Amino acid sequence: MVRLLQVLLIFLSIQRAGFSQANPIIESDVNDIIDETSQRNSGSGDASTIYKKENYGGLLLHSFGWGGNFRKGKQINAKLRRIYSIEACGMKNPKEYKSYNPHKDNNKGFVYGKLNTLTIIRPAAGIEKILFEKVGKKGVQISYVLLGGASLGFVKPIYLEIAPPPGSPSNTPPQIEKYNPEKHTLDKILGRAETLKGVDESRVFPGLHAKLGFNFDYARQEDLVRAVETGISADAFYHQIPMMAFIENNKFFVCYYVSWHFGKKSY
């Protein structure tokens, strides 16, 4: 009986050795399956990671100017995140047109009738909700963004270069004066003075801000933010902003915008 068992064991060993040599591909495939299963069970596969924080900023273009922004995002759940934002942008009046003195050569351009420039600072908070998740590394994640907060309108007076009075020597430099529509006619204006002139005379106009947009994140790496966002924004101030002479000024500004965001995600 013992001798019979020894014969059977020798036969099985020979058969197993022959199967392995004749079928190396099958054996390799079995090993790959075992390795893949082990990776899945250990959690080391390619499953997407949910990052808890985002920090990003970028360039903003809108209907009446441009600016920049910075945002911090905090994940609430897999589809929703809370956003804190700070944004700064210039705002032009739709009726602004650049002019030149027709009687002078090599003069600087200016906006005739413009009293003040408007720069808006927008601290805001809101949410971003994912509508369509990214499929693969070359996919695009689509979400909507809803923000609201304060609008702080910084209004700076315009200073112009004014031609010297008639009879002045030819080498007399132009005079720098705050624009006065009753005094400075088109033929007396040589151009706009330096941009920062009058900053110390700025006034602040408070208001409110709201924004609704759609965000398209096309980043190829999960820990990066590369996105384009487009939508509509609105600013409402408590008083009219004195931007232009000769026309009625606005206290409501509604515009379309597009922005480009670049940043990074973290745990």
Rounded to an integer, the average pLDDT of 174-184 is 92
Would residue 47 count as lying in a domain? Answer: no
Type of residue at 202: S
Looking at the fold, whether 59 and 88 belong to one and the same domain comes out as yes
Would residue 186 count as lying in a domain? Answer: yes
Looking at the fold, whether 166 and 37 belong to one and the same domain comes out as no
**Percent of the chain at pLDDT above 90?**
62
pLDDT, residue 122, reads 98
pLDDT, residue 1, reads 46
Q: Are 184 and 158 in contact (CB under 8 A)?
A: no
Looking at the fold, whether 24 and 99 belong to one and the same domain comes out as no
How would residue 2 be classed by pLDDT, with cut points 50, 70 and 90? very low
Looking at the fold, whether 164 and 237 belong to one and the same domain comes out as yes
Instruction: Give the CATH number for residue 184.
Output: 2.40.160.20
DSSP code string of 226-259: EEEEEEEEEEEESS----BSSS---SEEEEEEEE
Q: Does residue 91 or residue 43 have the better pLDDT?
A: 91
How would residue 41 be classed by pLDDT, with cut points 50, 70 and 90? very low
What are the pLDDT digits (tens) for 116-165?
A: 999 999 999 999 999 999 888 789 999 999 999 999 999 999 999 998 88
Residue with tokens 């060993």: 13
Would residue 68 count as lying in a domain? Answer: yes
Would residue 228 count as lying in a domain? Answer: yes
User: What is d(CA 137, CA 226) in angstroms, rounded to the nearest whole number?
Assistant: 12
Rounded to an integer, the average pLDDT of 198-222 is 96
Looking at the fold, whether 27 and 105 belong to one and the same domain comes out as no
Looking at the fold, whether 80 and 152 belong to one and the same domain comes out as yes
For residue 246, the enclosing domain spans 53-266
- Say which residues have a Cβ less than 8 Å from residue 17's Cβ, sequence separation at least 6: none
Structural domain count, the chain: 2
Would residue 75 count as lying in a domain? Answer: yes
Looking at the fold, whether 9 and 67 belong to one and the same domain comes out as no
Would residue 178 count as lying in a domain? Answer: yes
Looking at the fold, whether 130 and 217 belong to one and the same domain comes out as yes
